[in-house]
Structures are given as structure tokens and as C-alpha cells.
Amino acid sequence: MTEAHAVPAVEAAALAPAGRGLWSDAWRRLRRNRAAIAASVVLALIAVAAIVGPEVAPHAIDAIYWDRVDAPPDFANGHYFGTESNGRDLFARTLFGGRVSLALGIAATLVSLVIGVGWGAIAGFIGGRVDAIMMRTVDILYALPFMFFVILLMVYFGREPLLIFVALGAVSWLDMARIVRGQALSLKRREFIEAARAAGTGTGAIILRHIVPNCLGPVIVFATLTVPQVILLESFLSFLGLGVREPMTSWGVLIADGARRVETAWWQLVFPSAFLAATLFCLNFIGDGLRDALDPKDR
Amino acid sequence: MSAPLLAVEGLRVGFPLSGGLLGRVRTLVAVDDVSFELAAGETLGVVGESGCGKSTLGRAVLRLIPASAGRIAWLGQDLGTLDESAMRARRRDMQVIFQDPLAALDPRMTVGDIVAEPLRAFQPDQPKAERRALVEDTLRLVGLAPEMINRYPHEFSGGQCQRIGIARAMVLRPKLIVCDEPVSALDASIQAQIVNLLRRLQREFGIALLFISHNLSVVRHISHRVMVLYLGRVVELAPTAALFARPRHPYTRALIVAVPVPDPVVERARAHVPLGGEVPSPLRPPSGCAFHTRCAIARPACARDRPALETDGARRVACPHWRDGAG
């Protein structure tokens, strides 16, 4: 073994990266991951298109052209993606659907990150009665049928778009809490946690500084999986008439409509699906890249 | 006389074990009726076979696990009466080094953050530059290059990781360090370096060490006094030289005889009386003297009466018959 003091200072300085702390190191490593960077660029383009696209598209999302029902893509008249079965422009609707789907996906994932990680880490680390009560709460929410929950919300509050966020957020953090709790349970037996306690670090600081950073790998992978899950769940709600309302739309709604007409009007399925698939690909690459970047052992 | 740095009286640590769905709850007593004192700047070695409660004792002294009974006094103040926050403040003066050097370091923290952790806990308002300077100082103190502060634990060897662990324990300049088998996971050559580092730090800063190990040679090298545990009880406690020259308790004798001598001629000529059998389960400890099932000089009374710890000068031994076996 080379003992520490035997290492010349110059060599040690060359070995030591300039970065400090988990996040700046992670950012440096992420920049070296070409797939993740490319995926981030593509995802950013999709997001920008979804945000500004509907405003600059040649046609409005709710303009109905009776003479162009189920028209194929045509650059001459500005229907770049063709029209759908009610004669509305599919290009504008696809981009607008991206707004709804991405916003829902991101919002629900943020909820699952904040509540799920916090809930799971506290339950797993503190353990005992606190853990039992917190995890039984998760079990009860889990056992509650999702549709029943959504219908209840609709009955009490009317059909508000905000409620979809609430409903999706309320279910999306449950799995995350369980995953993080499992991680926290195994982490809290590790010696470095005992070392932190012996060093005088309080419970809150241990959870924030040791438990949560060490859970990040599975958390990030699961978060990237939550986004598509939520997008698909929303399309299911919309299909039942409980989701977004016409003339608003989402990728899930467009794909469901397009799938029914794929034999006569392929573009109604292909374009929204392509956007959803591209988004999911990008999220997976970014998730992989983040997981690797956040693991110091994986240089 | 002023109160010793650490005084432990009648310490008992039990772990409740549930006996399945219908079974009754049993208690595993890992440490039973242990008493000792530790003066400032002194090293007390704690030896014994695996499962005799050495590590449990170390953790209980630091209150990392709760004691079932007994008193742990720090400079005369009973730690058992402190609430969680007062105990946390006490931890400033008492630190710990662990057996597995890599497992004791958070894999996602840089060396600098790891060593600075006690500073963040006790001096949260300290300016960054000052904290960094102190961390670099401490790294130098344990023989590491300060340039390593931005690197991660997995980039280091076992010996270096143990030095990082020692730096973390030293950064607050504590009065007591519990060393829980600090060299057992290391190569022999590295063991000597780490032991000598601990001795040097002790001399320089007057730290008291509770040195837990199953390696008698290492304990002999570093300790002023040695405490021998068997099934959670103290069987002998004596100054190092006296203990190794004239061990009294039959268990201590068996342990010392089991240490190989690095000279084949002497080694072959030595009378070997290997210790037979296994350590009995702490769930069902033998009656009377817990050692009587393996003792060479046991007599019927040993299975009946538990021997008291007799004090003879600086020595304490829990065997009324030790004179019989002395060769």
C-alpha cells in the first residue's frame, strides 16, 4: 500500500478533482455523458415546442375545418401532422397535448420526490412505531381504489383541471415512499450512520446528509419511470371522461383517439406517439446519466 | 481525589429477542455487571473471544445503544440522566473508531466532508475557511495529504480509510476515543502503523482510549491496563505487564497461551493447553461461573456459585481458585 504521506503532494493534487461536494461533482460527470446530454437537449426542444408551439402554429387547437376531416399531413395548407376526426389541426393539438402531459408528469414526479422521499426516509430511519403508523397510512392510501378516489374528488369539487394534479400526485408518491423506506432501513444499520451519530449529528441532519443522498440511485430511476406512468394514467382518466376536457387535450388522449383510427389515418397515432416515445427515451437516458453521475464510485 | 474521566459501574446491556409468534420474549444479555474506570490519557484494552460483548460495551459507553442497568459517569456526571440533546453535546469529547474502515465512511461524501462532520455538528457557525484549515491540519496529523479532501472513500486503501476515520474522531480533539477493533480488518504491517499513530496521538493530546480488540499482541503493545471479558462479564482486570506476566484467571491464561510466539524453537517447546469447546450461547449462559464448562481447574462449586470480582491491589479477578492453577 502506498501510504498517504508517501504520495508526493503534486501527484495528489493532480489526482484530486477540482469539484467539491456531491452536486458539482455530479454535474461534471454528467457533462461527460454524451447520451444524457443529447437526451437533455432533445427533451428541452420538446418542452420548448410544447410551450411556444401552440401559439405559433398556423392553426388554433380548437379551429374546426369541416372540409378537412381526417386529412393527411400537408405542408401546403399548414396541417403539418394532418387533421383529426373532427377536422382540427393535429400539429397544434400534439404540441398543446405536450404541455398538459409534461406538466402533469413533472408535477406528479415532483410530488412523489418531495413527499415520497421525505416520508420514506423518515419512516425507515426512525423506525418503530413512527414507521408502523406512516407505512400503514401508505398501505391504506394504496388500498383505496384510485378511480373511486378520483370520482369522489370530482363529486365534491367539480371537474377542475387542478384536481387531476392532486389525484395523480396523491397516488404517485406511495411507491416512492416504499422504495425509499426500504433503502433507509438497510442504510441505517450501516456503520457510517452510527459514526455520524457518534460524531454528534442530529437525526434530521443524518436523514438529509446521509440517508437521502445514499438513496438517490433507485430514487432517480424510479422518478424517470413515474413520468411516463403518470402520462399514461392521465390518458386513462381522460378516456373515462374524468381527465382533461375538450378542446384541451393531452398526448394520452390523442394516442387513444389515434389508435382507434390507425387503419384509415395513421398520422393520428404516429405523431403523438412519436412525441411521447421520444420524451420517454430522453427521460430514461437522463435518468441513467443522473444515476451514474451521482454515484462517486462510478467514475 | 477528582472523578475519573470515565467511571462505569454495574453496566448491563440486554437485547430483547422475540421468540416468534407465540414464544416469550427472551433477553440476550451481551454485557453484564461490568465496572471499570478510565483515567484521562490512559488506555484500557478490552479483550475476549468473539461474541463476548466487547463491541457492545464500547457502544453502550458512548450511549449509541441503551444500557439496561448500571451507571456511566463522565467526569462524575451520570450520562444516563442526560436527555438526547444534552448527550449530543457530550459527544464532543467522546469519539469512536470502527472496525471496518470503509463501511464507517459515507460513500457519497468527500473526505473533507467526512472529517468535517463533527465540526458541522458542534460548530455550525464556524467560517468555512477556518473549518477547512482545521480539517487539513487534522489530515496532516494522521499522516494523510491535505490535498485528498476532495476525494471519495472508495479511492483509498483500508489503512488510509482508517486514518480518515481517526481524523474524523480527532478533529474535535476529544478526551476519549473508543476504538472498536480498529486494526482487525487491516494487514499486519498497517496494523502497526495505525497502533503507533494512536499511541502518538494519545501522547500528544492526552486522549484516553478504550481499545477493544481480540488481538492480544496489539492490546499488550498499546494498553496500560487490560480488561478480559467472558460472556459479557469481567473475569480479570489488571495492569498490562502484570496481566501478561502472571495471568490469574484460567481464561486469561488460556488466551495468552493461545498467542503464537514468533520463534519456532520457543513455540514448539511451549506447553499448549488449548481451550476446548465453543463459547456457550449468551442466551443460555452456564450457571455459576460462566467459564466452568471450559475451565481446566473447575470444581463442583464453580457450577453453583458465581464468583465475585476480588480486588487485589491494582488487579481484579473473578476466580476464587486462581492460586490452584498457577504453575
User: In angstroms, rounded to a whole number, what is the distance separating the alpha carbons of residues B253 and A215?
Assistant: 49
**What's the pLDDT tens digit per position in A128-138?**
888 889 999 99
The answer, yes or no, to whether residue B167 has pLDDT greater than 80, is yes
Q: Which residues of A touch B121 (CB under 8 A)?
A: 199-202, 205
| CB spacing of B193 vs A3 below 8 angstroms | yes
At B284 the pLDDT is 78
Q: Please give the share of chain B, as a percent, with pLDDT higher than 70.
A: 94
At A20 the pLDDT is 55
State the pLDDT confidence band at B185, using cuts at 50, 70 and 90: confident
Using the Cβ of A56 and the Cβ atoms of chain B, whether some distance falls under 8 Å is answered with no
Using the Cβ of B168 and the Cβ atoms of chain A, whether some distance falls under 8 Å is answered with yes
Using the Cβ of B120 and the Cβ atoms of chain A, whether some distance falls under 8 Å is answered with yes
Q: Which residue of B has its CA nearest to A17?
A: B150
Amino acid at A39: A
Instruction: Flag whether the ipTM exceeds 0.85.
Output: no
**What's the pLDDT tens digit per position in A173-232?**
888 899 999 999 988 888 899 888 888 888 888 888 888 888 888 888 888 878 878 887
Burial of A127 (0-12, 13-18, 19+ CB in 10 A): middle
Mutate one of B106, B110, B114, B148 to test the A interface: name it (highest A CB count within 10 A). B106
Per-residue cell: A298: 462510478
User: In angstroms, rounded to a whole number, what is the distance separating the alpha carbons of residues B233 and B73?
Assistant: 19
Using the Cβ of A48 and the Cβ atoms of chain B, whether some distance falls under 8 Å is answered with no
Mutate one of B99, B105, B109, B180 to test the A interface: name it (highest A CB count within 10 A). B109
The answer, yes or no, to whether residue B142 has pLDDT greater than 80, is yes
Q: How much is the pTM? A: 0.79
The answer, yes or no, to whether residue B132 has pLDDT greater than 70, is yes
Burial of B265 (0-12, 13-18, 19+ CB in 10 A): exposed
Using the Cβ of A28 and the Cβ atoms of chain B, whether some distance falls under 8 Å is answered with no
Angle between helices A212-239 and A90-111 (to 10 degrees): 140
Using the Cβ of A198 and the Cβ atoms of chain B, whether some distance falls under 8 Å is answered with yes
What residues does each domain of chain A span? 33-293
User: In angstroms, rounded to a whole number, what is the distance separating the alpha carbons of residues A114 and B162?
Assistant: 36
Place of cell 406528479: A108
Using the Cβ of B93 and the Cβ atoms of chain A, whether some distance falls under 8 Å is answered with no
In CATH terms, the fold of domain A33-293 is MetI-like fold (1.10.3720)
Name which of A1, A9, A12 is nearest B190 (Cβ-Cβ): A1
Residue A6, min C-alpha distance to chain B (Å): 9
CA B83 to chain centre: 25
At A10 the pLDDT is 40
**What's the pLDDT tens digit per position in B207-249?**
999 999 988 888 988 999 999 988 888 888 989 888 888 888 8
C-beta separation of A82 from A262 below 8 A: no
Q: Which residues of A touch B109 (CB under 8 A)?
A: 22, 209-210, 213
Q: Which residue of B has its CA nearest to A212?
A: B108
Place of cell 488510509: B160
Grouping H, G, I as helix, E, B as strand and the rest as coil, residue B94 is strand
Q: Please give the share of chain A, as a percent, with pLDDT higher than 70.
A: 90
The answer, yes or no, to whether residue A92 has pLDDT greater than 80, is yes
Number of residues written out for chain A: 299
User: In angstroms, rounded to a whole number, what is the distance separating the alpha carbons of residues B315 and B239?
Assistant: 7
**Strand-pair partners of B73:** B7, B78
At A281 the pLDDT is 86
Per-residue cell: B188: 499486519
User: In angstroms, rounded to a whole number, what is the distance separating the alpha carbons of residues A276 and A299?
Assistant: 31
Number of helices and strands (H, E) in chain A?
13, 0
Q: Which residues of A touch B149 (CB under 8 A)?
A: 16
Per-residue pLDDT averaged across A272-285, rounded? 86
* More confident call, B44 vs A264: B44
At A161 the pLDDT is 67
Q: Which residues of B touch A18 (CB under 8 A)?
A: 150
The answer, yes or no, to whether residue A150 has pLDDT greater than 90, is no
Q: What is the CA radius of gyration of chain B?
A: 21
Place of cell 399514461: A232
C-beta separation of B321 from B304 below 8 A: no
Per-residue pLDDT averaged across B114-136, rounded? 89
Grouping H, G, I as helix, E, B as strand and the rest as coil, residue A20 is coil
